[in-house]
Amino acid sequence: MDESYAELVRKSDQYKTDRSSKYKEVSKERLLKISKKKIQTTMIGALSTVEKYLGFLWGHESSEELTPEQEHLKQIYEEVRSEILDRGNNQARNLEAEFASYDINWLRYQITLPVKPTTSMEKGEEDGEE
């Protein structure tokens, strides 16, 4: 009897350890995914801003044929865009390598609702009667 109880306790401890380990891995993956998405959003947002304010230089969102100067500026923009995306993607990969050195535990969201007792409870109100 003592052996089966000891085995049950050992299995329970092992289960808790496995569950905790899995939770930490899921937490790390979740944070990495969110962080990478934020880096990508920053890159794309920066490119969008450049297009918004300077896109007229290379005929961005224009249906007209581009002049030789606009073609040249568009080529320069495409090189700049490529470098920005390459550097951002490199940083996202660096972030992934950095995360490998950490144990991460998501604390989840918590809400504490205050509960105030009512003092004017009349007979029958508890049961939904009036």
The range of the structural domain enclosing residue 49 comes to 32-104
pLDDT in tens, the chain (130 residues): 678 999 999 999 999 999 999 999 999 999 999 999 999 999 999 999 999 999 999 999 889 999 999 999 999 999 999 999 999 999 999 999 999 999 998 888 878 888 888 876 555 555 555 5
In the block, tokens 């304010």 appear at 53
Q: How many other C-beta atoms are found inside a 10 Å radius of the C-beta of residue 58?
A: 20
Alpha-carbon span 84 to 28, nearest angstrom: 26
* CA separation, residue 99 to residues 76, 93, 115, 128 (Å): 35, 10, 40, 54
Question: Could you give the number of structural domains in the chain?
Answer: 1
61 in a structural domain:
yes
42 in a structural domain:
yes
57 in a structural domain:
yes
19 in a structural domain:
no
Is the Cβ–Cβ distance between 88 and 43 less than 8 Å? Answer: yes
Query: What pLDDT was estimated at residue 109?
Result: 81
114 in a structural domain:
no
Who contacts 44 (Cβ-Cβ below 8 Å, separation ≥6)?
A: none
23 in a structural domain:
no
20 in a structural domain:
no
